[in-house]
Amino acid sequence: MNAQQNYRLLQEIDANRRFLLQAYRDNPELLARAEPGIKRLLDAARNDVPDRASKPRAGQARGK
């Protein structure tokens, strides 16, 4: 693999990690049954994945 392929792979891995953490965050029942390691990851990444309420809505100006 070259550097560009490695970078793309890292981006894909990060996107998948964020997706899974968001799934646990959005589903309290799933989170309640999660293994302790998953709960630690979620606690460590709490600021990495923005809550839906904090995301800009369509039509909102960004940076204002």
**d(C-alpha 34, C-alpha 55), whole Å:** 25
**d(C-alpha 21, C-alpha 14), whole Å:** 11
Q: How confident is the model at residue 64 (pLDDT cuts 50, 70, 90)?
A: very low
**d(C-alpha 6, C-alpha 58), whole Å:** 33
pLDDT for position 7: 97
Is 50 exceeded by the pLDDT of residue 1? yes
Q: Does the predicted TM-score (pTM) go above 0.85?
A: no
pLDDT 10s digits, 2-47: 999 999 999 999 999 889 889 998 998 998 999 998 888 888 877 5
